[in-house]
Structure 1
Amino acid sequence: MAPDRSPALRPIGVVRSPLTDRAAAPKQGPEGGPDAWLELDDNLLPALRSIQTGDRLLLITWLHHADRDVLEVRPRGNPDNPLTGVFSTRSPDRPNPIGLHPVTVLAVDGARLLVSDLEALDGTPIVDLKAADASG
């Protein structure tokens, strides 16, 4: 029997942010996203080796408040914008609500990273982290 190759995500941590209200959160991190802590599972410490203050990372999250049935939106929630398919937007509402957030590491404290410009809500599950540049 062939191994199961279906997608199976497991959270590796959680976002700790002052943002708790989706309606009040900025649409993108550089538009007022606060500094936030990424609390990763302690057993992942080896995976954090070499991450330093100043590093640019791509944070991948599961947007757990998203509506997975939404297929069209008015970009940026603006009723004056034309109805647009979610695959050509950055809407959090989509069939698989994966969030992609470019962040900068401000501090490293064990299995916790303080990052800047994060628009994710408190309690958002973390799926993965990747180096933001091609050399990583």
Structure 2
Amino acid sequence: MNVKAIGLVNSPFKVKMGSPHQGRFSDEMSTITIFKEYEDALEGIENFKNFMVIYWMDRADSVSLKVVPHGKKEKRGVFSTRAPVRPNPLGLCMVELVKKEGNILTVRWLDALDESPVLDIKPFVPEIDCP
């Protein structure tokens, strides 16, 4: 498997403690700096209000197959939760695009920690992404 980071997050969330469990619970702004070699891939992104950011939760420090989800009392399988303690710590977060300046995207609702590697960005398309 060959996975490459396409950029880095610049976030107000420097450590796990105090960061939101879901990005939609915070109006904090973050930026995503796309590496120059991938800048052409951003063409047209400003035509979308929302997009999904896939990032590597590089500071997830353990793997658990069963967890107690935030606000719940019973353990359940990690694949039925959004807990970060996964076999492959991929983060997925829907963000709102605030502005694009060159290779830098300013977004709202991103829950990634500062300097998290970004793996991919995909536009949110309601006709496809909503059941």
On whether the aligned pair clears a TM of 0.5, the verdict is yes
Q: Which amino acid aligns with 1:71?
A: L
Deviation at 1:52, TM superposition (A): 1.1
Runs of 4+ in 1 over 4 A off after TM superposition: none
RMSD over aligned Cα atoms: 1.6
Larger radius of gyration: 1
Shift of 1:69: 2.4
Provide structure 2 residue ranges, at least 5 long, that are not aligned to the other structure.
Answer: none
Asked whether the 8 Å contact 1:25–1:33 carries over to 2, the reply is no
* Inter-partner Cα distance in structure 1 for 2:87 and 2:62: 4
Percentage of matched positions with identical amino acids? 33
Partner of 1:13: 7
Return 5+ residue gaps in structure 1 as ranges.
1-6
User: 2:45 is matched with which residue?
Assistant: 51
1:88 aligns with 2:90: no
Contact 1:68 1:97 in 2 (8 A): no
Contact 1:16 1:39 in 2 (8 A): yes
Is the contact made by 2:45 and 2:123 (CA closer than 8 Å) also made in structure 1? Answer: no
- Equivalence for 1:118: 110
In structure 1, the residue matched to 2:57 is: 63
TM-score (norm 2): 0.90
Equivalent residues, number: 127
Distance 1:26 1:33, change over 3 A: farther
Q: How does 1:24-35 map to 2 (within 5 A)?
A: 24-32=18-26, 34-35=28-29
Distance 1:75 1:68, change over 3 A: same
The counterpart of 2:94, out of the listed 95, 98, 102, is 102
Within 2, Cα distance between the matches of 1:22 and 1:53? 32
What TM-score, normalized by structure 1, do the two folds share?
Answer: 0.86
Counterpart AA for 2:67: V
